[in-house]
């Protein structure tokens, strides 16, 4: 599994973010680049404890489903606003 603790993974993500432009075409889903970066930022802020998130039980169940169920994440799935 890829993690930000791995220097190669972190470097590849930093490069992808640096290449992102306001007019970059969508690779997947409906978010434009600005919305995607805000969405990722909100997720990271929640995980480091600077913003409250849903109950621990809901979070644990969703995380388990996202990581371990053997099917692709559905297109159009509603995420945090």
What is the pTM for the complete model shown?
A: 0.47
Distance CA 57, CA 67 (A): 16
Greater confidence, 21 or 80? Answer: 21
What digits encode the pLDDT tens for the residues 13-55? Answer: 889 888 888 888 888 788 888 888 888 888 778 777 777 666 6
- CA angle 72-77-80, nearest 5°? 125
Q: What pLDDT does residue 7 have? A: 92
**For residue 80, pLDDT beyond 70:** no
pLDDT confidence bin for 11, thresholds 50/70/90: very high
């Amino acid at each position: 599994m890829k993690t930000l603790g791995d220097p190669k993974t972190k470097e590849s993500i930093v490069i992808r973010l640096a290449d992102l432009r306001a007019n970059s075409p969508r690779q997947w889903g409906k978010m434009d680049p600005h919305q995607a970066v805000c969405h990722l930022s909100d997720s990271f802020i929640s995980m480091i404890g600077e913003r409250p998130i849903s109950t621990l039980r809901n979070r644990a169940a969703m995380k388990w489903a996202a990581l371990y169920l053997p099917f692709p994440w559905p297109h159009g799935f509603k995420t945090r606003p």
